[in-house]
C-alpha cells in the first residue's frame, strides 16, 4: 500500500526537502498551501506535477479538517509556521495563533478524521532560549525569549498532551538551526551568503548585521528532514533533539563565507542596531545523543561545508542574474 503524507508548510525550506524525500520513498504527498496573490511555490516548482496541493490555513479549522479528509494521510508533518524570530515581536498575536494554537487545530483535525495518523510537530531549540544548561537535550527546561519561542512551547505541549490524552502517535522534533541554499533571505546565514555573492560580483558594498556574538548549532536542512521522517517510523511516539553538537558564532559564519570567495569579512560587515533583538538567544548547542541512539540519525554535512555550499549557490544565482541583465539590456 502506498503511504500518504500531508505536509503543512510545504512551500518552505524544510517542506521542499521533505517533499523530495517522501516522493523518493514512494509516498503520495499532499501539501497545505495558503491562498496568496503571488504563489510561493518557487522551492517546490520542480515537484509540482508529483504533488497534490490543498488550500488551507493554520488559523482555519475547517481547512485543516478538509485537508485530513481529502488526504487521508498516514503521516502528517506540521512544518507551517511564522518562522522568523525577528518578526515575531512585530506580529506576536498572529505568531501565537499560527505557531501555537494552529498545532491544536491540526491535532483536533487528526483526532476527528483519522486518529491512527502519525504526527510530527516542528518544535525548536528556540524553546530553550535563555538556556538553563549546555548542551541542551530533551530534558533541558524551556525559557523562550521571543513570541515565536513562546508560541512554539505551546505547540510542543499541545503535541505531548494529545499523545497523553488520546494516545495519538504525536512526536516533537526539537530541531536546532538548519540551513541550505533554499533558506529565506531574512535568516542570518542566507543573508550573509547572498551578500557575499553580491559584494563579490559588484552588486553590493556592505553587509549590515546585528549581534555577531550569537552562537548557533547550524546543520544542513537536507539532513534534518531525514530525522523528521525517522521519528514517525518508530513504534512509539517520542520527542527528539536534532542538532550537530557544534556551535559557532555569526562572526565565524561571516569569516568562512567571505574568505571562501577571497574577501576579508571585516572590510564589509557593519554592525547595525536595527538588527539587534529585544531579547536575544545568546547560545544554542544541542545534544543529539538520543536521536543517534534511537533513530540512528546523524548529520552528514559539516559547518564549513554548509557555509561553502550556500555561498557557492548564491554565487551561481547572482552570476546568472547578471548575465540575464546584460543579455537583456
Q: Is 3 helix (H, G, I), strand (E, B) or coil?
A: coil
CB atoms within 10 A of CB 321: 14
Residue of 44, 67, 98, 107 that binds ligand NAP (CB under 6 A):
98
168 binds ligand GDD (CB under 6 A): no
Q: What is the DSSP string of 11-41?
A: TSHHHHHHHHHHHHTT-EEEEEE---SS---
Spot the catalytic one: 17, 27, 148, 240. 148
Look at residue 15 and give the partner it binds from ligand NAP, ligand GDD, none, a contact being a CB closer than 5 to 8 Å depending on partner kind. Answer: ligand NAP
Residue 123 or 318: the one with the smaller Cβ distance to ligand NAP is: 123
Which among 106-114, 182-190, 238-246, 299-307 is the span making contact with ligand GDD, rule CB under 6 A?
Answer: 182-190
The distance of closest approach from Cβ of residue 47 to ligand NAP in the complex, given in angstroms and rounded to an integer, is: 13
Paired strand residues for 207:
269
Q: Taking CB positions, which residue lies at the least distance from ligand NAP?
A: 12
Residue of 277, 289, 308, 312 that binds ligand GDD (CB under 6 A):
277
68 binds ligand NAP (CB under 6 A): no
CB-based burial, 287-313: b 16+ in 10 Å, e otherwise: bbebbbeebebebebebeebbbbbbeb
Which among 33-41, 66-74, 83-91, 301-309 is the span making contact with ligand GDD, rule CB under 6 A?
Answer: 83-91
CB-based burial, 126-139: b 16+ in 10 Å, e otherwise: bbbbebeeebbbee
Residues 188/307, Cβ–Cβ less than 8 Å: no
Spot the catalytic one: 11, 124, 159, 244. 124
The distance of closest approach from Cβ of residue 81 to ligand NAP in the complex, given in angstroms and rounded to an integer, is: 3
Contact pattern for ligand NAP over residues 151 through 190, marking x by CB under 6 A: ------------------------x-xx-----x------
Residue 57 or 126: the one with the smaller Cβ distance to ligand GDD is: 126
Q: What is the maximal distance between C-alpha atoms in the chain? A: 63
213 binds ligand GDD (CB under 6 A): no
148 flagged as catalytic:
yes
Q: Report which of 216, 215, 237, 240 is spatially closest to residue 226, judged by C-alpha positions.
A: 240
For Cα atoms 218, 129, 151, give the angle at the middle one, nearest 5 degrees: 100
15 binds ligand NAP (CB under 6 A): yes
C-alpha span between 155 and 104 (Å, rounded): 7
Point out the residues that are catalytic.
124, 126, 148
Amino acid at each position: 500500500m502506498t503511504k500518504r503524507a500531508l505536509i503543512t508548510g510545504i512551500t518552505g525550506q524544510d517542506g521542499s526537502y521533505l517533499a523530495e524525500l517522501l516522493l523518493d520513498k514512494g509516498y503520495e504527498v499532499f501539501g497545505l498551501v495558503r491562498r496568496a496573490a503571488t504563489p510561493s511555490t518557487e522551492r517546490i516548482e520542480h515537484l509540482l506535477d508529483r504533488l497534490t496541493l490543498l488550500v488551507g490555513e493554520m488559523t482555519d479549522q475547517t481547512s485543516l479538517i478538509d485537508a485530513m479528509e481529502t488526504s487521508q494521510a498516514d503521516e502528517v508533518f506540521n512544518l507551517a509556521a511564522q518562522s522568523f524570530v525577528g518578526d515575531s515581536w512585530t506580529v506576536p498575536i498572529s505568531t501565537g495563533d499560527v505557531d501555537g494554537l494552529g498545532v491544536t487545530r491540526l491535532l483536533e483535525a487528526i483526532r476527528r478524521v483519522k486518529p491512527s495518523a502519525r504526527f510530527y510537530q516542528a518544535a525548536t531549540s528556540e524553546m530553550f532560549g535563555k538556556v538553563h544548561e549546555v548542551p541542551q537535550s530533551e530534558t533541558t527546561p524551556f525559557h523562550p525569549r521571543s513570541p515565536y519561542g513562546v508560541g512554539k512551547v505551546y505547540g510542543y505541549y499541545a503535541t505531548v498532551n494529545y499523545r497523553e490524552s488520546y494516545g495519538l502517535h504525536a512526536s516533537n522534533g526539537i530541531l536546532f538551526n538548519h540551513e541550505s541554499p533554499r533558506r529565506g533571505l531574512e535568516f542570518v546565514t542566507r543573508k550573509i551568503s547572498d551578500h557575499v555573492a553580491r559584494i563579490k560580483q559588484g552588486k553590493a558594498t556592505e553587509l549590515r548585521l546585528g549581534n555577531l556574538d550569537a552562537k548557533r548549532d547550524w546543520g544542513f536542512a537536507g539532513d534534518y528532514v531525514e530525522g523528521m521522517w525517522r521519528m514517525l517510523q518508530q513504534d512509539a511516539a517520542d520527542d527528539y533533539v536534532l542538532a550537530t553538537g557544534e556551535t559557532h558564532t555569526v562572526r565565524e559564519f561571516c569569516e568562512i563565507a567571505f574568505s571562501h570567495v577571497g574577501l576579508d569579512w571585516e572590510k564589509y560587515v557593519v554592525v547595525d542596531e536595527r538588527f539587534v533583538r529585544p531579547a536575544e538567544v545568546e547560545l544554542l548547542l544541542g545534544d543529539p545523543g538520543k536521536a543517534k541512539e534511537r533513530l540512528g540519525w546523524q548529520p552528514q554535512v559539516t559547518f564549513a561545508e554548509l557555509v561553502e555550499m550556500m555561498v557557492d549557490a548564491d554565487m551561481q544565482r547572482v552570476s546568472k542574474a547578471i548575465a540575464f541583465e546584460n543579455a537583456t539590456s
